[in-house]
């Protein structure tokens, strides 16, 4: 009557699910990083124009350095 009961857990499906979720998360992260960089490329020229609009003509013509904040 003394029988041993062995319980074996199968983690192969669990590891596959973890890999899929990790790949999906890395893919989404990559897309968001790419979109953020592209947004900066588009926004910087508008910021540059706005910044120059607050400078006087002499400041714009005489400045050889880039001033991000007026």
Token code pair at residue 32 = 């968001």
CA dihedral 45→48→53→56, nearest 10 degrees, is: -140
**Does the predicted model carry a pTM greater than 0.85?**
no
pLDDT tens, residue by residue, 4-30:
877 776 767 788 888 999 999 999 999
Give CA–CA dist 62/17, Å, rounded: 61
Say whether pLDDT at 66 is over 90: no
The more confidently predicted of residues 38 and 2 is 38
Give CA–CA dist 20/3, Å, rounded: 39
């Amino acid at each position: 009557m003394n029988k041993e009961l062995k319980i074996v857990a199968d983690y192969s499906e669990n590891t596959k699910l973890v890999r899929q979720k990790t790949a999906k998360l890395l893919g989404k992260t990559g897309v968001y990083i790419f979109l953020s960089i592209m947004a900066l490329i588009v926004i910087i020229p508008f910021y540059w124009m706005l910044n120059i609009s607050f400078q006087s003509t002499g400041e714009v013509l005489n400045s050889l350095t880039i001033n991000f904040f007026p």
